[in-house]
Structure 1
Amino acid sequence: MSTTGGSLACEGMYSKLIDDEGACDDLNRRPDVGLSAHPVSPIRLIPRPSGPGPYRLATICLATLCAVLLISIIAVTAHYKNKPQRDGEVTSEVQKQTQDSDTSALTASISKLQEEKKQLQEEKKQLQEEKNKLLAQLDTMTATKAPEVIKPTTKAPIVCPVDWHLFNNSCYFISRTTRDWPESKSYCQSQGAYLAIIHTAEEQTFLWDRLPRGHWNAYWFGITDGHTEDSWKWVDDTPLVGGFWEVGEPNNHINEDCGYIVKTRVMERVAIRSWYDAPCTMYWPFICEKDMAAVASAAVPH
């Protein structure tokens, strides 16, 4: 058997069985048969000391290192796997606390605004009551208490017919029946008068004070824009200058060409803002005016 063959056999034995390394060394040291003429002496096998060899110890250390490395990898993976979840939970908790704080602040603000609204409503109510009292006092103070009979220094006293009211040089009749505007105009003419022509705030207040309050007490007087829209004229064909219209009037809402005065139960209404326009076909009471100075002048013989 050649030396080369023995070496190959020994290398195979190394790869298969590590524990037999001592035996392979003895085989390699055996002399080659072909080189010696002497008979081959028997092979002596030296027994290997008991206990793990150097390869086995290295294998155990390597396996232990691999186990430690595997455990470390698993621990790190678990740590990073759970960390986002914990971070998400912390973030969610912070957001919840912030939302609760915002909700509490908003609720407090709403409660404060409601209290302020309640106080403002109470103040508004008190101011409205004071306003009503002042307007009532104003009506009383501005009312003109003219005597029914005026005695001029150089003329005979003016005496108005029954149910007519005297102011300055005119007598005024406030009807209790209703007519449309043209019929009211005709009735006044039949009495030697005309639908009232009102030029001053004193005259307007005098008439308004004699009108009764009601749900919607309205009275025709002598103004119309029936000939030309928005060109208001009195029944004597003189143009209107100024006037005592309510705010937003006249508005010609539904072909409203005749004027009337309104006095309701609402105390805020005042005499100098009480004119409205309405269709001339509506039926209202009316106010006639008779110029007593003109009557007296016509009665004097020339």
Structure 2
Amino acid sequence: MSTNAESTLSDGMYSKLIDNERSYLDESDASGPDVQHNSVLSVTPWRGASRQGGQGSYRLASMCLAVLCAVLLISLVAVSAHSRNQAQGLPGPQVAPQNQSEGQTQMQTQSADVAVLTESLAKLHKERDDLQKERDDLQKERDDLQKERDQLLTQTGPQSVTSAPKSAAPTIPCAHPWLQFNSSCYYISSFSDSWEDGQNFCQEMDGHLAIIHTPEEQTFVWDQLPRGHWNAYWFGLSDESTEDDWVWVDGTKLVGGFWEKGEPNNHINEDCGYIVKTQVLERKAIQSWYDAPCSMHWPFICEKEMGAPQ
């Protein structure tokens, strides 16, 4: 009984489907003579299949899009959580111990290099500042000495010289900054000049570069000199006219002398004598003479008679 009912229902649906198709065909015929007529079995299933295929493709695309959105959402959540952990100082992915150790060693080495460079730079800045200060101090001292020289020249100019011979001049002590030894006054410059210019300066003050004859005089002059790395001072001895024929500025020839061992050696056309006093305590006053090119700039020692104008 159930089978007959189902068959009757199926026949009714099929008949209804046939009728609908015929109605469709009749409408198609009314639209024009050129329309092609197909059988019911070919037209009806094709239209239904197209509709069902479109709905399936739409569902499949929707499902793929949903899956893609879910994957993107999970990735965004994971990246956000990782970034938040790093910002809060939480441990991130574990680094291999060896790589981590190498990285720490490299950072420590770079930090040490930066510290060394920073310290070296600070030292260089300090040395530069010290040198600039020393230069400024030397310039000020030179200016003061030039001013003092001008004052001395003013005081000892031609207007102050009497017509009486020097032997008749009264004996007076050596005025500052001149130093007295026996009957002579000595002036030790604190600025540098060539041997010839030093001699000219001494002559402007009625003196000359120092002439040293005795060990006592040599020791006195040497004791007045400050110690330094290589403190050199011109005095009044040269062999510019004839090599190895050493002559004082007053024209008298040298007898003996207080040369260092191996001096004078005329190493590079060295024609003028100078005295050296260094920080080496073993160096002796009576072995401190050297020869050097006369154009070199060093301080110098002036000498004049104690009774001469000052």
User: TM-score normalized by structure 1?
Assistant: 0.46
Could you say which structure has the larger radius of gyration?
A: 1
Higher relative contact order (CA 8 A, sep 6+): 2
User: TM-score normalized by structure 2?
Assistant: 0.45
